[in-house]
Amino acid sequence: MPGFTGYISCQKHNLKEEINMFDVIDMNESLLQEEIRIKGPYFYGKVIRNSIKKFTRDKVFCSKGNKCFVLDGVILNKHELFKKYDIQDDSMVSLLETMSFTNPETFYKEFRGTFAGLSIVNNSLYLFTNHIGDKDVFYYMDEDKTLFFATDFEALIKIINRVNGKKFKINKNAAYSLLTHSHVLCNETLFQDVYRLTPGHYLSYSKEIKKIENYFTLNNNPKSISEKEATRKIDLLFKKAVKLAFDKDLEYGYKHLVALSGGLDSRMTTWVAYDLGYKNMLNYTFSQSDYLDQTIPKQITNRLRTEWLFKALDNGTYLYKYFKDSIKISGARSQSSTIAHTLSMVSNINLDKYGLIHTGQLGDVIIGTFYDNGKKSAFTPGAGAYSTKLIDKVDYSIKNAFHIEDMEIFKFYNRGFTGVNTGLKPMYQYTETISPFLDIDFLEFCLSLPLEFRSGHKIYIKWINEYYPDAANFVYEKVKGKINRRTITVKGIPVPWTSIPGAAIKLIRNKLGLKLSTKNHMHPTDYWYKTNPELKKFYHDFYNNNINLITNIELKADCRLLFEGGTASEKDQVITLLGFVNLFDSYIKENI
């Protein structure tokens, strides 16, 4: 993934060989590619920039004396911060220098947007990601206390290997997490000793000592508030978040590119933006043809008269066309099928005239809840898993999962901020992406609401009906009905009375295991597996050609169990693991 990579040591003699940056990254004229050499007296090493050529005035890559600043991403509130800190030249470098002077460790916690970065001040290095970690930062420290870091997993592995010849062992726990949750746990990667920096955390490095510190943690303790005040503030904060993001496009002269599906989240991003006057937008949709995720956006864009682009996912051809690229850009931290559909879309659009990709990411669990059936509960092993056949093989700890007390907070960090957000990786190859639901002020407020408001999307539906009633007059794909009708809550999901017969049929089909054979889904993988012989052949050929890369007897047997007796999605989980071992084979110390 574009961003930055590098290595730092407190001892000059630990870095015996000069590294050419194009040994680590591919030369690409469409990216900003440059390097900073750190020559002491406290640190020695190199930082390499490999950033997209968009939103360049929001980014920083500079070295001044013993100081160094690297910032990648977009800072939506930078103009507010310019005023607060009296930055006369509207320079991000000046802003970082000023903010870090008074708060060198966590100055960036005031930023709003998607970002990751590095600073060297006061003889210490600080490596940071944003509050929700959507800009991944990976790191590794070797036996000589040299620190390696990167926003791209493959670039990190390359630079480690190039500097010291290191090869890695497979992280068996991460492998089992991938085979169950469909993604690894929050802080893990598929290589032992290589970690992801926890969302809302930073790494400090000084005098060969590395520490991981927290600057932000989600909290879902409820506060007393009336429904009326809650809906008023939801609308106020959501509009503020939308305005911050869409104004960033206008700042750089870009058109708006906005996701749209049959759900409520992207609908509300689109609708509120349009209502605020941001009408120069292109909505995009990808789905199985003729399903609600196509027909509903078509109706909405016809009503708003916005431009609309639809990409059919029919037959699941993207699953094999974009398989290797999906593993490459994600480090297989999430199964390939959860990445490939987005990659198939954005790689076929000329994004030169468009700015941020605006989504509704995680909206349903932010104004709703991540608790099962809408009821508060403690964490239990397997929470949020897509496959439970191997769930007993996964070990959960604070070190690898960060939070293992509350069910909802666990799911935010280990499913939302890890598995779901890994699906954004293709977008970061070309631009930046923002969801107003993930605006940290909006997110914190919603999680402070009484659970009875969030359960069953009660306050979500109330907000839409009261403030944007026309947006409620379209079918909600999840319940196959309109939310401006009387609803009842079934397992934490609001179901309109008019949709009860369909919901009952759906429940029966699910109980009988019949849901997998239908094409009535955004991406019906099992249906495609049964009807597209090329997809079936791809899965089986890749499995047969690579299963023997797994030499660990237990893990190989479990891969066989899951692939041969599992759903198409479970088969995809298995070949994602095999694809990782295949792709990174030259960096593996001993096959597993």
Tens of pLDDT along 138-181? 999 999 999 999 999 999 999 999 999 999 999 999 999 999 99
What are the C-alpha distances in Å from 116 to residues 58, 89, 126, 211, 581? 12, 23, 11, 17, 28
Pairing relationship of beta strands 195-196 and 113-121 according to DSSP bridges:
unpaired
Q: What is the DSSP string of 434-476?
A: E-GGG-HHHHHHHHTS-HHHHGGGHHHHHHHHHH-GGGGGSEE
Q: What is the pLDDT of residue 238?
A: 99
DSSP assignment of 520-589:
-SSS-HHHHHHH-HHHHHHHHHHHHHHGGG---HHHHHHHHHHHHHS-HHHHHHHHHHHHHHHHTGGGBS
Angle 568-583/323-330 helices, nearest 10 degrees?
60
Average pLDDT over residues 494-510: 54
Query: Which of 478 and 240 is assigned the larger pLDDT?
Result: 240
Q: What is the pLDDT of residue 57?
A: 98
pLDDT of the residue at 498: 52
pLDDT surpasses 70 at 512:
no
pLDDT of residue 363: 98
Over the chain, what is the mean pLDDT?
A: 94
| Fold classified for 3-167 | Glutamine Phosphoribosylpyrophosphate, subunit 1, domain 1 (3.60.20)
The superfamily in CATH containing domain 227-526 is HUPs (3.40.50.620)
Is the pLDDT assigned to residue 486 strictly greater than 70? no
For the chain, the straight-line distance linking the first and the last C-alpha, in angstroms and rounded, comes to 26
CA 371/CA 383 separation, integer angstroms: 9
Domain boundaries, the chain: 3-167, 227-526, 527-587
pLDDT at 522: 73
Sign of CA dihedral 159, 164, 168, 174: negative
Could you tell me what percent of the chain has a pLDDT over 90? Answer: 88
Cα Rg for the chain, rounded, in angstroms? 24
pLDDT tens digits, 181-200 = 999 999 999 999 999 999 99
User: Averaged over 67-75, what is the pLDDT?
Assistant: 98
